[in-house]
């Protein structure tokens, strides 16, 4: 029987887990044997007893070496990758460009690795889309985090002590994270504006109660997969000029712009930020990819000119229970793509498997990563 191993995440601050009791039951229905490391789900609110009741076996960390598949959230460190047996499969958020030692260990150990962040944007793969599920969690948490640090309340309040005006929130980037941020901020009673270079999202922003800030549309604003493209410096300059007045009026600014495989674009310069009121809050959701805001620091909270800039790099981990549920359901759907009645048919002719498989049979299939390793002489 094919053995699945679900480890306790080793990355600092990572509280999510790649399988929850609900999806353990689903894996058993696929004909798989499931082993869960003791304490793997504790930080997300899932006890060892919950996993046992679902049908999983509780094991120690050493069980990784005997598993046919390892399911993770973040890329394991190289020493953990070396523990997997040849021919086994690692399924996680791989981030190969930032995990070269781990990729090398997987390649040299002839361990296959699927990076779920490379899931193709096709209808069949929607239920496997970890980027969307985790962005939903991140967009929600970004607003709550801003609300905690903002020295005023979000909604309009008519009280005996007078009227409290609503907070003004500006969201830059109206993808999944941005749309969830808009929705959450509106539910908390804020006045919300949003901007995106893709004109198609205007209707979505307005349907959630936000006002769309139109800065024009550059040529080829989005990829075939629906992601925003990197813009020219000329367009970026025009965009900044229009956005500046909206930024200075905002109590909360949330930035979500990411370019797959590249450094995040700078949307807010230090000069633009200087116009914000003291006490204002910025949540830079792209801080871990270089940042959309000049002055943001990945993983840190800084205060510049009276403005709090939050650079949290793992917002989904702050709502670990539901983020884990969503991620685990994505993983289960992915397993169902190639596991039938307990048999694994990992065929790279399959469009989904071909897109997400980064390492296979001793080869790095992701060209930019292969080039980076070659440049290091690895």
Catalytic residue among 35, 84, 99, 129: 129
DSSP state of 251: S
Helix (H) or strand (E) holding 296: none
Structural contact between residues 132 and 267, judged by C-beta atoms closer than 8 angstroms = no
Catalytic residue among 50, 227, 301, 318: 227
Chain center to CA of 228: 16
Going 372 to 327 to 45 to 19, the CA torsion angle's sign is negative
Catalytic residue among 88, 132, 239, 280: 132
Interior angle at CA 91, CA 292 and CA 36, nearest 5: 115
Three-class SS state of 37 = strand
Catalytic residue among 126, 232, 245, 363: 126
Active site residue 51: no
- Look at residues 235, 238, 239 and name the one whose alpha carbon lies nearest to residue 195: 239
Active site residue 284: no
Active site residue 16: no
DSSP state of 63: G
Interior angle at CA 226, CA 208 and CA 170, nearest 5: 35
Cα 344 from Cα 329, distance rounded (Å): 19
Cα 218 from Cα 215, distance rounded (Å): 9
Active site residue 57: no
Length of the chain: 378
Pairing of strands 162-164, 157-159: antiparallel
Catalytic residue among 48, 108, 121, 318: 121
DSSP state of 152: S
CB count in 10 Å sphere of residue 238? 15
Q: How far apart are the first and last CA of the chain?
A: 35
What are the residue numbers of the active site?
121, 126, 129, 132, 227
């Amino acid at each position: 029987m094919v053995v699945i191993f679900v480890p306790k995440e080793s990355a600092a601050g990572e509280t999510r887990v790649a399988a929850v009791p609900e999806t353990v039951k689903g894996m058993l229905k696929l004909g798989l044997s499931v082993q869960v490391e003791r304490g793997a789900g504790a930080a997300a609110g899932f006890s060892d007893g919950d996993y046992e009741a679902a049908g999983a076996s509780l094991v120690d960390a050493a069980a990784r070496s005997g598993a046919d598949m390892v399911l993770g959230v973040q890329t394991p460190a190289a020493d953990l990758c070396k523990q997997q047996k040849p021919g086994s499969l690692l399924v996680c958020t791989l981030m190969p460009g930032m995990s070269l030692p781990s990729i090398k260990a997987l390649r040299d150990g002839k361990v296959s690795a699927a990076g779920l962040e490379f899931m193709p944007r096709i209808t069949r793969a929607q239920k496997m889309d970890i980027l969307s599920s985790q962005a939903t969690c991140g967009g929600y948490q970004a607003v709550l985090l801003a609300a905690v640090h903002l020295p005023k309340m979000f909604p309009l309040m008519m009280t005996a002590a007078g009227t409290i005006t609503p907070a003004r929130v500006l969201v830059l980037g109206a993808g999944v994270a941005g749309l969830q941020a808009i929705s959450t901020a509106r539910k908390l009673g804020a006045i919300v504006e949003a901007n995106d270079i893709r004109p198609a999202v205007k209707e979505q922003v307005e349907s959630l109660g936000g006002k769309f800030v139109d800065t024009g549309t550059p040529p080829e604003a989005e990829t075939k997969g629906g992601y925003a493209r990197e813009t020219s410096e000329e367009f970026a300059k025009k965009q900044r000029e229009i956005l500046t007045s909206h930024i200075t009026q905002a109590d909360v600014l949330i930035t979500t712009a990411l370019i797959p495989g590249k450094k995040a674009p700078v949307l807010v310069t230090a000069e633009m930020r200087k116009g914000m009121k003291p006490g204002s809050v910025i949540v830079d959701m792209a801080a871990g990819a270089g940042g959309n805001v000049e002055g943001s620091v990945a993983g840190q909270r800084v205060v510049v000119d009276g403005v709090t800039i939050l650079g949290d790099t793992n917002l989904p981990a702050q709502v670990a229970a539901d983020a884990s549920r969503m991620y685990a359901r994505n993983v289960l759907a992915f397993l169902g793509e190639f596991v039938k009645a307990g048999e694994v048919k990992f065929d790279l002719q399959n469009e989904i498997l071909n897109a997400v498989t980064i390492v296979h049979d001793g080869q790095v299939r992701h060209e930019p990563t292969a080039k980076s390793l070659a440049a290091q002489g690895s």
